[in-house]
Amino acid sequence: MKHSTRRVVITGMGAVTPCGNTVAELWQSLEAGRSGIRTITRFNTTGFDCHIAGEVVGFELDRFVVARDQKKMDLFTQYAMGAAEEAMLDAGFGSHELSSDERDSFGAVLGSGIGGLTTIWHEANGYRGPRRTSPFFIPAIISNLAPGFISLRWGLRGPNKAVASACASATHAIGDAARLIAHGYADRMLTGGAESGVNPLGIGGFGAMNALSLRNATPHAASRPFDQDRDGFVLSEGAGILVLEERELALGRGAKIYAEVAGYGETADAFHITRAPDDGAGPMRAMALALDDAGIVAEQVGYINAHATSTPTGDRIESRAIRTLFGKHCSKLSVSSTKSVTGHLLGAAGAVETIATAMTAATGIAPPTINVFNQDSETDFDVTPHTSKKVRPEYLMNNSIGFGGTNATLVLRAVGL
């Protein structure tokens, strides 16, 4: 990263998603293009226009959180705890006893777009009177209790906070965490994002914005980024957590390295609360800043995990931004939207997609964009339709765009090439 000689690498990853509750299961689903979208079972959707979502299934909370603490956490924090456990074990910190100094410089920065929406829904519905609100209501809903509980679980005493930038939250969190390490304010960070909006308020709220796909009869085909017949995104839930580590420390302890976090860019549109300007200037500038931060030019990027949520305007605007920035190099790019498989995990999306991008860096496999039956004419680059393919990029990009006109891009560098 620019302005720093310290380099940052990814040494552990964990995921709880509609496509599986481990990174291995998630990656298998992504590689195979196996959709995690189903008819909603969490609540009765009678009267709602949208009846589909990406729900987490089979999450074994008891493995990660003692019974007494479970009621103190909203679902998004519970998912974060599960993903953090996997990421820490994956990084080798399950058996490695962290010293007191190591804990002081090990932080947690997580993104969540909304926080404890499910708890808000239940508490408001079961409101028992002015002196009867649960003392755990506030701790359960506030976004920073996900990193808070993670710090308690592992004794991490470094920087600890939440990032809230809607659907860009996790990408911002990862970028901010990487910079904390690059600039010497921490040596290791648990980062990523968590979200759980599959409840009447989430489906009703996004539904009211006409943001959701209404392909209720064909859930697997509902999320179709870059397809000209896309009709909205599919709301999903879960968490993605990564362990970031200063490179020399990681090498020193012989850690497995998935990829390097080489660059980060962030911008705002200053245009509209929920939509980007038609020319995609905001996302384009975020990508350009991330390239500059990584010290590379556009032609060095071989793969992009796009934000592409499957909304009619959003995908088109991001496509324009990519086309404007990469120009003729578009013909050599591989792009995919893994949201076609996972749905949109909102504040956790950027983390799940950074995990996917790191897996592409490590395995040389680009997961497909599924459901692209009629590619949008404005998306004139390879979106890896239907099936995965072999790629060998040195530099990879992950884009996130959030309500509020906020944009974040990460550049990863493949290692061992």
Which chain residues interact with another protein by CB under 8 A?
67-68, 70-72, 128, 131-132, 134-136, 139
Amino acid identity at 344: H
Residue 389 exposure: Cα atoms within 13 Å on the Cβ side = 17
CA distance 398 to 411: 7
Least distance between another protein and beta carbon 138 (Å): 10
Specify the DSSP element, H or E, that contains 361.
helix 349-363
Instruction: Please say if 51 is a catalytic residue.
Output: no
Task: Tell me if residue 330 is catalytic.
Answer: no
Q: Which two tokens stand for residue 132?
A: 């009867």
* Catalytic residue selected from 167, 172, 220, 386: 167
Is residue 307 part of the annotated active site? The answer reads yes
Catalytic site residue from 19, 50, 330, 344: 344
Residue 294 belongs to what H/E stretch? helix 281-294
Which of 211, 271, 274 lies closest to 404, judged by CA?
274
Shortest distance in whole angstroms from residue 117 CB to another protein = 21
From residue 77, alpha-carbon distances to 116, 126, 177, 305, 417 in Å are 8, 21, 19, 25, 36
Q: Report in angstroms how near the CB of residue 216 gets to another protein at its nearest.
A: 38
- Closest CB to another protein among 16 and 65? 65
Retrieve residue 265's tokens.
Answer: 């860019």
Please report how close the Cβ of residue 307 comes to another protein at its closest, in angstroms.
39
Alpha-carbon distance 87 to 57, whole Å? 19
- Residue number with CB closer to another protein (139 or 280): 139
- The distance from CA 242 to its chain's CA centroid, rounded to whole angstroms, is 10
Report whether 319 contacts 376 (CB < 8 A): yes
Active-site residue (options: 19, 172, 307, 330): 307
Cβ distance to another protein smaller for residue 70 or 363? 70
Q: By C-beta, is 6 or 72 nearer to another protein?
A: 72
Contact between 14 and 240 (Cβ < 8 Å): yes
Quote the least distance from Cβ 148 to another protein, whole Å. 14
The three-class DSSP label of residue 345 is coil
Q: In angstroms, what is the minimal distance from the CB of 200 to another protein?
A: 25
**Do residues 302 and 326 make contact, with C-beta atoms less than 8 angstroms apart?**
no
Please give the Cα distance from 331 to 271 (Å, whole number): 30
Catalytic residue annotation:
167, 307, 344
